[in-house]
Amino acid sequence: MGKWTVEVVTQVAKGTLLGDGGLEVQGCIIDSRQARGGEMFFALPGEQVDGHNYIEAAWKNGAVLAIADEARYREMKEKPNIPAGKALLLVKSVVTALQELAKCWRIKLKAKVVGVTGSNGKTTTKDMIYAVLSQTFQVHRNKENHNNELGLPMTILNAPLGTEILILEMGMRGLGEISALCEIAKPDLGVITNIGTTHLELLLTQERIAQAKWELVEALPDEGKAIINAEDFFSVQKAIKDSHSICYYGLEGAFATPHIRGVQPRPWGELGTSFVVNFQDEKATANLPLPGTHNVLDALAALAVGTMFGVPLDIGCKGLSELELSKMRLEIRQGVLGTILINDVYNANPVSMQASLNVLKERAAGNKTLAILGEMYELGSSAESGHQEVGRTLAGLGISGLITVGKLAEEIAQGARLAGYAEDQITVTGSLEEASQKALDLLSRLGPGTWILIKGSRGMRMEKITAELESSE
């Protein structure tokens, strides 16, 4: 962020200042090790790690101002010594101070804000929007998926002066959470990628998930615009009843006619997809370094955002061709025994797992295929049916072999069986180590040229299997 004085921060956060109010601050951190010089360090109290124990470390590493919980500070037996050129601000709540400062900085920036949410593809779509808009504007976005009540305000506070557009991914686990993030972010434009079954465990019905996601659109000003997936039933149903201006994007237009449409998607390069984009009287070809129609849809959402800011389609497509991919999302790696790995272990739910299985089948282009699939979390009462649905998709695609990892993932095998998948193509395992060993045994039979998909929820740590099956050459 641009320079604020400690005195201004004190006024906004309504705290008690110890130290020099004339010091300048720039940027914010919650990890003392990330200080580079001049930052505010928010000493977050936690059960495992208490930021108050790292105030002196933050100062030593270069932070100028530490913001601490007043009650917690008063309890400390050994209070930090405030060196010259440093300051300490005591507040009622460190989290509230962080959020209030972010609200204030968002206004000071005078940037337009694009909010992004959805059950699948939020982070990828955010990165694609960044790729499109940064061709023309000064743009700032969340790092990775820093999309919650801490990550979002930190993203805003770390946006430098001169930022013209803020792209803010918004995550949620329950009703009211996106509303709270929007209260901080004040979005001008909202993108909903889709409304799926993620978080069903907490919200119980898909209608409630739709309601929670739609809080982003409800938070838009009257003149705000919503970018909506024309292939997503629940999104379109909500959009029909909404008074905001809606821009639909899509391929087939299953539930609404797309304003911006992708046609003729086809494989491009090792893992990319080429497609033609039509918007009003404009037409351009996009070469996206990602596979699968789900990624084409996310790219169309990004191009739709671009059109809202006057970015020509061909310029937006150029941005997409230069997209930098996040780690552990559909990475191609060389596997042992002459195999090819698709490492897609960042996270998983039924929709994304089915999409990745389609990518596996498409890219293998007639070669043998093996899917190593772990458990999917947060599906609630849909856990059994969600896993079985993946198994049915796998069977329908004719994947050569299936290895499941974990108790819940056994339902993937069951779904495949019920769809007529042969028992001798299924291997059920209970651990990463067992899955790796069984995979090596199976690959020796399937032979060179086999394509392997490795995917599961983040908590499964499926990348350990990738490490075992990756070629060391």
Span 56-77, mean pLDDT?
95
For the chain, what percent of residues have pLDDT higher than 70? Answer: 97
Cβ neighbors of 266 (< 8 A, separation 6 or more) are 273, 274, 275
pLDDT tens across 200-214, in order?
455 457 788 888 899
pLDDT tens for residues 407-452?
999 999 999 999 999 999 999 999 999 999 999 999 999 999 999 9
The alpha helices in 283-420, defined as continuous H runs, are: 293-308, 313-321, 350-364, 383-397, 410-418
Lowest mean pLDDT among 1-10, 215-224, 355-364: 1-10
Mean pLDDT of 125-146: 94
Please say if the pLDDT value at position 47 is more than 90.
no
- Which of 32-41, 320-329, 405-414 is least confident? 320-329
Residue 199, pLDDT above cutoff 70? no
More confident residue, 65 or 48: 65
**226-269 confidence digits (pLDDT tens):** 999 999 999 999 999 999 999 999 999 999 999 999 999 998 88
List of residues 6+ apart from 471 with CB closer than 8 A: 333, 334, 335, 336
Which pLDDT score, from 0 to 100, does residue 437 have? Answer: 97
Q: How far apart are the first and last CA of the chain?
A: 44
pLDDT of residue 2: 55
> Which range has the worst mean pLDDT, 91-100, 117-126, 318-327?
318-327
Distance between CA atoms of 327 and 344, rounded to whole angstroms? Answer: 9
> How does residue 91 score in pLDDT terms, banded at 50, 70 and 90?
very high
pTM of model > 0.85 = no
The whole-number pLDDT of residue 92 equals 97
User: Which parts of 39-176 fold into alpha helices (H)?
Assistant: 55-61, 70-75, 94-109, 122-133, 151-157
Mean pLDDT, all residues of the chain: 93
Q: Return the higher-pLDDT residue of 218 and 197.
A: 218
**Residue 197: pLDDT over 70:** no
Q: Which has more confidence, 291 or 34?
A: 34
For residue range 293-321, what is the model confidence (pLDDT) as tens digits?
889 999 999 999 999 999 999 999 999 99
Q: How confident is the model at residue 356 (pLDDT cuts 50, 70, 90)?
A: very high
Assign 325 a pLDDT band (cuts: 50, 70, 90).
low
Q: What's residue 209's pLDDT?
A: 84
**Res 1: pLDDT:** 47
CA distance 217 to 230: 16
Is 472's pLDDT higher than 80?
no
Q: Which band of pLDDT confidence, cut at 50, 70 and 90, is reported for residue 14?
A: very high
- Residue 181, phi then psi, degrees to nearest 5: -70, -40
For residue 273, give both structure tokens. 């997809």
pLDDT category at 326 given cuts 50, 70, 90 is low
The DSSP bridge partners found for residue 169 are 116
Nearest to 41 by CA among 80, 71, 77, 75: 80
pLDDT for 473: 63
* Residues 67-78: tens digit of each pLDDT: 999 999 999 999
- DSSP string covering 235-262: HHHHHHT--SEEEEEESS-SSS--SEEE
